[in-house]
Amino acid sequence: MSETPVPGFSTLAVHAGAKPDPATGARATPIYQTTSFVFDDVDHAASLFGLQAFGNIYTRITNPTTAVLEERVAALEGGTAALGVASGHAAEFLTFHALLTPGDEFVASTKLYGGSINQFNHSYKNFGWTPKWADPDDLSAFEAAISPRTKAIFIESIANPGGVIVDIEAIAKIAKRARVPLIVDNTLASPYLLKPIDYGADIVVHSATKFLGGHGNSLGGVVVDGGTFDWLADKRYPMLSEPRPEYNGMVLGETFGNFAFAIALRVLGLRDLGPALSPFNAFMILTGVETLPLRMQKHSDNALAIAEHLSNHPAVKWVSYPGLPGDRYHQLAKKYCPKGAGAVFTFGLTGGYDAGLALVKNLKLFSHLANVGDTRSLVIHPASTTHKQLSDAQKVTAGAGPDVVRVSIGIEDAADLIADLDQALAAS
Ligand SMILES: *Cc1c(COP(=O)(O)O)cnc(C)c1O
């Protein structure tokens, strides 16, 4: 028997998980817009409910369109399985729900998406889950934040909004010593630029709303199970190591081995908490993923050209883009994302807060909105918008001080984007 070669990333982006529709021959993955699925017979129904057979019951738990997206993202990230959910926040929430019990802690990077900081600081209090914050530029802060109640470490790979590259491999070593899983939010990098599991991450989460979908038209989230963590070693993760009464005393970590985490999120998290991805959104995101390699390369090339231009502009005080040779994260960028440092970066205006507002007002091609990862170029002034709820000190630690402007560079012509920035900087 000849060995099938492992397909390359671009091939997986187009094909992984998909085959012509068995019922109709449809080549594009159909949108299975149905809530429920008819059982073959009573025994089949019973085996599905008992987790003795894999199959579809109800779209809150599985759906064939979503399943193709799940298999594809798992393949692109190098994980064992994945779960599609309603949003990036749902992906984070289901992940923590499977790991933490009331009174538990997790260590979180201070350099995160503003929405994650809010979610962790405020809503997670209701569940008795406490974040312990650590600056990813100071690895000893991660060590120091770990206690016997720590159940996970959470970081972003390329961190929102500041163009920060986190030393995943070093933090994975800290997680291994503490015997807790490392969760990496890989939204801004996407697996095209960086695959956290290669560097020791155990779980990868995505806001598929951003680069995976890529066109600014559909919310979604994905959790990828790296298959690397031993859930039974210390019995500190009861959802995976305790018998489940509703599944005849099954221990998920024993029955499902290296994809038990993904199963737990599906048959307990999605089943009971309910943030299912709509099949239509799964289809839109799946279509986006097919061009992920092309788009991410163009995003990164454009972003580098624009960052270079801005760093020579008199109205710009500083540019924080790891792709720039002088940047403090450039060495980490060369190691973790040699193809490019992504679309999102920040820069500071000599004119401060007011100049930030004026720039946003005068840009024409850039859209002023709270998103990243669209084909279109986007701009926001974080201090007056996404990071407004944070204290002044938190704003600065999160890289969102008063003079900061964040851009998500699209896939238009770089020259047009540069011309738009130049006219708006002149007007501000
Ligand atoms: C947008 C975003 C999220 C939240 O995702 P939603 O799909 O908006 O819920 C989480 N992490 C990062 C890095 C994000 O950019």
Write down the pLDDT at residue 388: 82
Pairing of strands 221-225, 203-207: antiparallel
Q: What is the band of 164 on the pLDDT scale with cuts at 50, 70, 90? A: very high
Candidates 293, 203, 294, 343; CA nearest to 9 is: 293
Q: Does position 1 have pLDDT exceeding 70, yes or no? A: no
In this predicted model, what pLDDT tens digit does every residue of 281-324 receive, in sequence order?
A: 999 999 999 999 999 999 999 999 999 999 999 999 999 999 99
| 348, β-bridge pairs | 318, 404
Cis peptide upstream of residue 161 (ω within 30 degrees of 0): yes
- Ligand 1 center to residue 207 CA distance, Å? 4
What is the rounded CA–CA span in Å between residue 64 and residue 71? 11
Contact call for residues 329 and 287 (beta carbons, < 8 A): no
Does the CB atom of residue 115 touch ligand 1 within 6 A?
yes
User: Could you tell me where the DSSP H helices lie in 78-167?
Assistant: 88-99, 114-121, 139-145
Write down the pLDDT at residue 2: 59
- Ligand 1 center to residue 133 CA distance, Å? 19
What is the strand order of the sheet 203-207 is part of?
81-85, 221-225, 203-207, 182-185, 150-156, 105-109, 130-134
The protein residue whose alpha carbon is closest to atom 2 in ligand 1 is 207
Return the DSSP state at 268.
I
Percent of the chain with pLDDT over 70: 99
In this predicted model, what pLDDT tens digit does every residue of 32-60 receive, in sequence order?
A: 999 999 999 999 999 999 999 999 999 99
Percent of the chain with pLDDT over 90: 89
- Helices 279-290 and 64-77: crossing angle in degrees, nearest 10, is 40
Phi, psi of 262 (to 5 degrees): -65, -40
What pTM was estimated for this model as a whole?
Answer: 0.96
| Residue 100: count of CB within 10 angstroms of its CB | 22
- Ligand 1 center to residue 221 CA distance, Å? 8
Shortest-distance atom of ligand 1 to CA 219: 7
What type of residue sits at position 212?
Answer: L
Contact call for residues 210 and 233 (beta carbons, < 8 A): no
Q: Residue 56 CA to chain centroid, in angstroms?
A: 26
Mention every residue, 6+ apart, whose C-beta is less than 8 A from residue 292: 13, 76, 190, 191, 192, 211, 212, 214
**H/E segment holding residue 363:** none
Residue 154 half-sphere exposure toward CB, CA atoms < 13 A:
28
Does the CB atom of residue 116 touch ligand 1 within 6 A?
yes
In this predicted model, what pLDDT tens digit does every residue of 180-196 receive, in sequence order?
A: 999 999 999 999 999 99
- What is the pLDDT averaged over residues 77-81? 98
Does the CB atom of residue 160 touch ligand 1 within 6 A?
yes
Angle at Cα 267 formed by Cα 264 and Cα 268, nearest 5°? 70
Query: Which residue ranges form the domains of the chain, and what is each CATH number?
Result: 9-289 (3.40.640.10), 292-427 (3.90.1150.10)
Does the CB atom of residue 219 touch ligand 1 within 6 A?
yes
SS3 156: strand
Query: Which of 111, 117, 187, 380 to mutate for ligand 1's pocket (most ligand atoms within 8 Å of CB)?
Result: 187
Return the DSSP state at 266.
I
User: Could you tell me where the DSSP H helices lie in 291-413?
Assistant: 292-311, 330-336, 352-362, 392-397
Alpha-carbon Rg for the chain in angstroms? 22
Q: What is the band of 399 on the pLDDT scale with cuts at 50, 70, 90? A: confident
Query: Which of 123, 157, 207, 222 to mutate for ligand 1's pocket (most ligand atoms within 8 Å of CB)?
Result: 207
- Ligand 1 center to residue 215 CA distance, Å? 15
In this predicted model, what pLDDT tens digit does every residue of 221-274 receive, in sequence order?
A: 999 999 999 999 999 999 999 999 999 999 999 999 999 999 999 999 999 999
What is the rounded CA–CA span in Å between residue 329 and residue 324? 9
In this predicted model, what pLDDT tens digit does every residue of 344-375 receive, in sequence order?
A: 999 999 998 899 999 999 999 999 998 999 99
Shortest-distance atom of ligand 1 to CA 221: 7
What is the rounded CA–CA span in Å between residue 151 and residue 16? 32
* Longest Cα–Cα distance in the chain: 73
SS3 353: helix
Pairing of strands 182-185, 203-207: parallel
Write down the pLDDT at residue 69: 98
**H/E segment holding residue 161:** none
Residue with tokens 């960052």: 307
Write down the pLDDT at residue 165: 96
Write down the pLDDT at residue 412: 98
Q: What is the band of 332 on the pLDDT scale with cuts at 50, 70, 90? A: very high
Q: Does position 400 have pLDDT exceeding 90, yes or no? A: no
Q: Which is more confidently placed, 26 or 400? A: 26
Rama region for 342: left / alpha / beta (φ>0; ψ in -120 to 50; rest): left
DSSP codes joined into one string, 185-228: E-TTTHHHH--GGGGT-SEEEEETTTTTT-SS----EEEEE-S-
